[in-house]
Structure formats: structure tokens, C-alpha cells
Structure 1
Amino acid sequence: MTPTLTILMVLTSHSMVGDTGKHTGVWFEELATPYYEFVDAGAKVEIVSIDGGNVPIDPASLKPAGENPPDVERFLNDTAAMGKIKQSGNVSHVNAGDYDAIFLPGGHGTMWDLPTSTALSHLLSDAWAKGKVLGAVCHGPAGLVNVRDTDGKSVVAGRRVAGFSDSEERAAGLDKAVPFLLETRLRELGAKYERGPDFTSFAVTDGRLVTGQNPQSSQATAHSLLEAIRNNKQ
């Protein structure tokens, strides 16, 4: 019998876009689509957040009932799944060794609390040292900027990486509001940043590191993460 895959999803706890007065959080589709990609593949999925407790959802990522993408509707009507984000665990209370992979969904909230969380950077650095797979989509790669490998180098340095592009941030009108531009930061860290056209699906795998560019990339990124886990177990 094939052992069950175990995947940890780490979500933002940050709910405001700087001092703009706009609310943010996790982008719901980037949570829901990977979640069901993993669950439907037979994986056990746990969800934690930076602060624990109720996870903020970006209001722009939710429409009235019946008008959302299928996976978002499925998640909203899934009592167990909704319970996981209403009472999420705290990222500081998990052990990297318990999981095959750790996945970071996006949403603008991630730009503030994922890079500044020492608990998250320690968890991801430990996971990488233990040979685990790391994945992130859209703004989720912001959680990788302070992650180090066993040599003390940035985990993205010299590796192929995708993430929300600077031109997409400008198109979203938030390039002046975010703490930094993600594409620019990844390049500064030595990543081999790759991208597709704005707001089209693009995901890249470099060994145990799997990243996607934008919300449209969430399914491709999740699918690639599962492939990377299987390859890593061979």
C-alpha cells in the first residue's frame, strides 16, 4: 500500500494592504484549487497560518455564492475545510519532518508577514535541509526570501523560480503599496527568475522547488508539486 502523502499549507495572517485601507489576506482560489488538487490525489493536507486562528481572505477573491470558481465553491461548502482556516494552527507549532512538502498560497497579505516570520523561515530552511519539497504560488514565494540552504545561501539562489511579476503588480495598482516587488527581490537574491505572459498560467520546477507566477498558475503549480514529491520519493 502506497503511504499517504502529507502536505502542509502555510497561509498569511495579514489582512491590510499597507496603509491603503484596503483589506487583503490569502487569495481564495490559490488556497482552494491546490487544496483539492492535493486532497483528490489522496494527500493528507494540514493548514496553518503565521499567527494561527481565523485566516483573512482577500475580499476581492470572493464573489457571491454560486459565482466563484468551482474549487472555491467546493471549499466554501466543505465544513471540514472551512474549519481548517477558521481555526488554523500556528506555523511555530509544526515540525518540518512530519511533511513531504510545504506549500505557500499567495494573496497580497503574504508580502507582509511571510518574509518577516522567523518561525516560517526556520521551518522552510529545516524542511529544505531534511530533503522536503517546497512550493509557492503568486505572492507565496515571498515566504522564500529569507530561507537558507545548509550552506547559508538563499534557497532561491541559482534556481529557476517564478512568482508574481513586477508588471503584474503594476497592473494590479499595488506596486507602490507592497513592501517590495517580488520579482525584483527574487532576482536580487540570485534566483533565475522565469515568467510567462501576465496573468496566464506559468509554473516552474527546479528539483525540490516548485513555484508559480500568479493566480492562474495555482492548479499547474499544485500538480507540479505532487510530481516533485513523487520524484523525490523515488
Structure 2
Amino acid sequence: MSMLKILIIVTNIGMYASGNHQTGLWLSELTHIYDAAKEKGYEITIASPRGGNIPVDPESLKHFTLDKISEKYWNENSFRDLLANSELLTDVAQQDYDLVYLAGGHGTMYDFPDDSTLQSIVKHQFENGKKVAAICHGVGGLLNVKLSNGEYLITGKSMTGFDWFEESLARRKREVPFNLEAAIKERGANLKKAFIPMTSNVVVDKNLITGQNPFSSKEMAKVVIRELEKK
């Protein structure tokens, strides 16, 4: 069996438009899938719209949000080097992947939704029956992806993402550029929320896999690997 290839797309944006708060990648939304894929021996590419440095949301480094796996990688120089030198998305867009994974963090709300390279990668991946996964705010990268028939990819799909109540719990309602929950519903997707906010929730709809929030990172990694290894 040949080695599976996965592409993890991350944000380059480290500040809200207001300039009041730092943002970036939510660390656990990268570390858990990275760790699970590494353990399986998959070939992993980490890329971003601009390439280069990946800012990490300082909120995701606080002791109550930093789980063991995230802490382990954060303390590894080699991993920090990966974050400082992500691939440029346009440079890796032509390759074939078994999985394209959109990691989250509020930064993604600024550079994911309208990135044409990201859209074409996701469209190609999805239409070829390959796995597309997105977690938390990373699902914003799916919003404007249109399929060859002109329809939005997420129309009619069951999925999840960071909801508006969670946004108020995170105290970022006034900072975010749009309401992700409303945008998902506007596209005609079937948004499935966790019964209790800020708890793990992963939704699989054929080759589309979505996770609701940072607390879904661990389950998301498990589900994605399980779906990838299905024969």
C-alpha cells in the first residue's frame, strides 16, 4: 500500500481587523491531525495562502486550552520550524492528496473564504471523491467553493462549524468579520451542532468531514484517519 498524502491548510492572519486582539491558527486543530497522520506514516504537507510563517492564536497556548499533544509539539523546535516555513498554497496545488484538511483559528475567517487556490484545491479533491475535512473556523474555507455544476459544495450537506453561541462564549462576536453559523445556513447546508456548546462534535457526510470547535480536535483526527483507511 502506497503512503497516503495529506495537505493541511492553515492561516497566515495573526490579527483581527480591529487590531484589538491577536489571532491565528488554533494550535490543537493542527497538532492532533498532524500527530495521528505522523503515527500512520502519512506524507504531510502544511501550506498556507501566503506561505511562510503561521501565527498561532495566543488563546490556544493558555494552560487550560493547551492539551498534552499540542504542548508536546509546541515545545519541539522542528515543529516550530514547520510553522515558520509553511509551503505556499499555489506551489502545492497541483499535487494529488488523499486528504485536504482545513485547520481552524479565527485567522482563517480573513484568508480562507475568498482564496481561489484553496477553492480550486477543495473542488478538485471533492469532485474526485477524495476526503475533504475542515474544523471550527476552518470550515469558512468551504463556504464559497462551487462545484462544476455551479452549486456550492456545502449546499444540502450535513456539516458543523463554530456556532454563533460559541462565538459569544469566546467573546469574539464583535471582532469576527462575519457570522459563520449564519453563512453556513445561507448556503443551504444542514448545520448539526453539539448538544452542549464547546464540546466535541464531528459530522461525516460521505467524503466531507467537519468538526465544530477546538474541543473536537482529538475526535476529528480519529474520525479522519478511520475514514481514510476505510476500504
* TM-score calculated relative to the size of structure 1: 0.93
- Listed one character per residue, the Cα deviations across residues 173-195 of structure 1 (whole Å, up to 9, x for unaligned) are 21222111111111110111001
- Is the Cα contact below 8 Å between 1:97 and 1:130 reproduced in 2? no
Identify the range of structure 1 (112-121 vs 170-179) with the bigger mean alpha-carbon deviation.
Answer: 170-179
State the distance in 2 between where 1:162 and 1:96 align: 28
Residue 211 (structure 2) aligns with? 212
State the distance in 1 between where 2:46 and 2:80 align: 10
- Listed one character per residue, the Cα deviations across residues 59-82 of structure 1 (whole Å, up to 9, x for unaligned) are 111137xx9311112212333322
- Is the Cα contact below 8 Å between 1:26 and 1:110 reproduced in 2? yes
State the distance in 1 between where 2:72 and 2:37 align: 14
- Is the Cα contact below 8 Å between 2:14 and 2:55 reproduced in 1? yes
State the distance in 2 between where 1:97 and 1:129 align: 15
Residue 57 (structure 2) aligns with? 58
State the distance in 1 between where 2:30 and 2:228 align: 19
Residue 79 of structure 2 aligns with an amino acid whose one-letter code is: A
Residue 78 (structure 1) aligns with? 76
Find out whether 1:90 has 2:88 as its counterpart.
yes
State the distance in 1 between where 2:34 and 2:144 align: 25
- Listed one character per residue, the Cα deviations across residues 89-108 of structure 1 (whole Å, up to 9, x for unaligned) are 11111135421011011110
Residue 113 (structure 1) aligns with? 111
Superposed displacement of residue 129, structure 1 = 2.0
Identify the range of structure 1 (106-115 vs 95-104) with the bigger mean alpha-carbon deviation.
Answer: 95-104
Structure 1, unpaired ranges of 5+: none
Residue 124 of structure 1 aligns with an amino acid whose one-letter code is: V
Structure 2, unpaired ranges of 5+: none
Residue 181 (structure 1) aligns with? 179
Distance 1:108-1:217 versus aligned 2 partners, 3 A rule:
same
State the distance in 1 between where 2:92 and 2:44 align: 13
State the distance in 2 between where 1:30 and 1:128 align: 21
Describe how 1:1-234 pairs up with structure 2 within 5 A: 2-63=1-62, 68-95=66-93, 97-196=95-194, 197-231=196-230, 234=231
Number of positions where the alignment pairs a residue of Structure 1 with one of Structure 2: 230
- Is the Cα contact below 8 Å between 2:93 and 2:117 reproduced in 1? no
When the two chains are superposed, the root-mean-square deviation of aligned CA atoms in Å is 1.7
State the distance in 2 between where 1:152 and 1:97 align: 24
2:125 partner SS: helix
- Is the Cα contact below 8 Å between 1:96 and 1:127 reproduced in 2? no
Distance 1:206-1:96 versus aligned 2 partners, 3 A rule:
farther
State the distance in 2 between where 1:131 and 1:160 align: 16
* TM-score calculated relative to the size of structure 2: 0.94
Residue 119 of structure 1 aligns with an amino acid whose one-letter code is: T
Superposed displacement of residue 116, structure 1 = 1.9
State the distance in 1 between where 2:19 and 2:77 align: 33
1:32 partner SS: helix
**Percent of aligned pairs sharing the same letter:** 34
State the distance in 2 between where 1:39 and 1:177 align: 35
1:7 partner SS: strand
